[in-house]
Amino acid sequence: MAEITVLAKKKHVKKRSQMKSIWFRYKKNKLAMFGLILFITMTLVAIFANFIVDYEQVAIKQNISNKFQVPGKDHIFGTDQYGRDIFARIIYGSRISLFVGLVTVAIALTVGTIIGSVAGYYGGKVDNILMRIMDVFLAIPHMIMAIAIVAALGQGLFNLLLAMSISKIPQFARIIRSAILSVKSQEFIEAAKACGTKDSRIIRKHIIPNAIGPIIVQATLHMATTILGIAALSFIGLGIQPPTPEWGSMLSDARDQMRYYPYLVIIPGIAIVMAVLSLNLIGDGLRDALDPRLKN
């Protein structure tokens, strides 16, 4: 790159990334690291699930003779009422949870950022209209809205994604709008305007990079609530349909057997807790690492 050529001639100091110092601070937070390792493990397991257990044979195929096997050496987590290996179902279930969690947040973040940026940067009537629309969505409890959307549009992965992201867009829009408001009034934005910088460039290059901290933190926390949300929807039968394994529906299926085979409930429950916990720890850790200490 031209930059490095010219600068290399002058023996410049290597550009020290701000990322490095954020990572450095994050590393020191033991809980946050635990959360990160846990989450990475779960992600890897989800991605490489194929190599760990076979989908059709183990997670889906029913084997009544094998039913209700308590966790032991053949089946680490036991089997359910259809003889399916719970360990396999948990692993494949993580794919759904993590995938939907990620995509939902990605959609909500993108749309929310556009809405929030425009509202925050331009203010006035535009801000008012956009935020009032967001308020209407926020006034509806988001699980109920998700339920309503799925009920109206029918079940399926796509509709599930749609339902979950729509309910999250207003929250992201709000956060991004307030982040932008706090940066907008700073003098370096005025300085950019004094050179005639276009609005889009100001938002892109000057405002968003400075507002990204709270946005990232919220994103991780929302992933956690999305996972819970999917589990809840599946629990009441509106989420992922059987026989596809999903933690929430596994809980639902196990409801009647709880008293006799508590492991059927405990194990999916723990999986949900671990996913949500790891994301919360990452979110908290990021918030601390991105803290105002960056300014000192």
Minimum gap (Å) between residue 241 Cβ and other proteins: 45
Comparison of 13 and 139: residue with beta carbon closer to other proteins: 13
Cβ 294 to other proteins shortest distance, Å: 7
135/190 with CB nearer other proteins: 190
Q: Please identify, using beta-carbon distances, which residue of 209 and 243 lies nearer to other proteins.
A: 209
Q: How far is the CB of 222 from other proteins (least distance, A)?
A: 24
What's the rounded Cα separation, in Å, for the pair 238 and 252? Answer: 11
Distance of closest approach, residue 206 Cβ to other proteins, in angstroms: 6
Per CB under 8 A, residues contacting other proteins are 2-3, 5-7, 10, 12-16, 18, 25, 28, 186-188, 190-198, 201, 206, 209-210, 294-296
Nearer to other proteins, 9 or 259 (CB): 9
Cα 93 from Cα 78, distance rounded (Å): 16
Backbone angles phi, psi at 180, to 5 degrees: -70, -40
Query: Which residue stretches of 53-141 are H helix?
Result: 86-122, 124-139
Positive or negative CA dihedral for 262, 156, 134, 288? positive
Q: Which of 249, 199, 205, 229 shows the shortest CA–CA distance to 89?
A: 249
CB of 221 to other proteins, least distance (A): 23
- 85 bridge partner residues: 79
Say if residues 231 and 254 touch (Cβ distance below 8 Å).
no
Q: Judged by CB, which is closer to other proteins: 17, or 65?
A: 17
Residue 34 CA to residue 74 CA, distance in Å, equals: 29
